[in-house]
Amino acid sequence: MVWRPISLDDIDNWLELVGAIDAHDDPDQRPDRDDLIEELINGSHKDPVRDTLIGLDRDGVARAFGHVELLPGKTLRRVFMWGGVHPDWRGLGIGREVLRWQTERAREALAEQEIGDDPEIATVPWRIMVNHEEKLVDRSALCQSAGYTAIRWFHTMIRPLRDTALPIPLVALPDGLQLGHWTEELDEAVRLAHNEAFARHWGSQPRDQEGWKIWTTGHRTFRRDWSRVVLDTTETDATGRPAVAAYLSAHAFAQNWVAKGLKEGHVDLIGVRPAWRGRGLAPALLAEAMHAYVASGMDTAGLFVDTGNASGALNLYLGMGFHVEHTSVAWALESPGASGL
């Protein structure tokens, strides 16, 4: 095999490989061509020449790949790794070598950060992570043999919206709080609200303006017409507008609809600022989003949840009619001080 970095010229070859892997492994999420382009180049922190690897056979057909991404972080430096081997080429040690390369590259990138312009970065803990669906036991064996530890589990949950589905509740808000649409004028206020809401959430780091636009408000899957905010009319923010108390960002991952045979409205982010918790804002946002999904012809509502989330999110979703569809596991190598962050 010939190994080299992934370039934009490799997208279709890479997509065919990812499609073969997904057809065999049947994952919950299936990236399309645009997703691969985004993984390769979206974000000023990305360096595909150094952080990607593709293995080609003698005919130039992609048979394996590895992807490494070091995300900016003020209290935790996170490296996410993604890779795969064509089903017909497994059992030859290729996956083991890809993971070895990814781990070495992740450590190298972290070390390079520490000799950069910010002398304080060396004191920030780090975590190198690999995520996969729990049912893929060969991936678990691979991660374990490489010294990784399973540290977190996540559920993909769905809720039927049609036919025999439970009725969607109507949830009233306390006086002074209003449900509204997420308009462009609120983008920055919602970003700041998100950073406050997730400040103590495991694995989370503040979103900067670039990342917020790339992966939330400016992403091609973001549905502003489905997304909602809760505004407190009794308080104002720095701009003089009513304060954002809570928010829900909704997305349409249409690339997954064919495999699932269902059209899904996805809850990507939902957060309530600490001062407004305990007032039913999250259920109200979920109910409002589901009504919007139904109005747009969606069959189901979907979301991801961290099973270790101490906020009670899992019980909230179960109480709103969601059920577990898939479970994924996160494997990690981490520095002292990273545990619990």
Q: What is the pLDDT of residues 312-326, one digit of tens each?
A: 899 999 999 999 999
Comparison of pLDDT for 162 and 133, the residue scoring more? 133
Residue 59 pLDDT > 90, yes or no?
A: yes
SS3 190: helix
CA pseudo-torsion sign 228, 233, 235, 238: positive
pLDDT tens-digit map of 174-205 = 999 999 999 999 999 999 999 999 999 999 99
Burial degree of 32 (CB within 10 A; 0-12, 13-18, 19+): middle
Residue 115 confidence (pLDDT): 87
pLDDT tens-digit map of 197-238 = 999 999 999 999 999 999 999 999 999 999 999 999 999 998
Residue 310 pLDDT > 90, yes or no?
A: no
- Provide Rg for the chain, Cα atoms: 21
Tell me the one-letter amino acid at 181.
Answer: H
Residue 117 pLDDT > 80, yes or no?
A: no
pLDDT tens-digit map of 264-295 = 999 999 999 999 999 999 999 999 999 999 99
Name every residue whose Cβ is closer than 8 Å to that of residue 174 and which is 6 or more positions away in sequence: 279, 280
Looking at residue 222, what DSSP letter applies? B
Residue 106 pLDDT > 80, yes or no?
A: yes
Going by pLDDT thresholds of 50, 70 and 90, the confidence category of residue 73 is confident
CA pseudo-torsion sign 10, 15, 17, 18: positive
CA–CA dist 226, 266 (Å, integer): 10
What pTM was computed for the model?
Answer: 0.93
Residue 260 confidence (pLDDT): 85
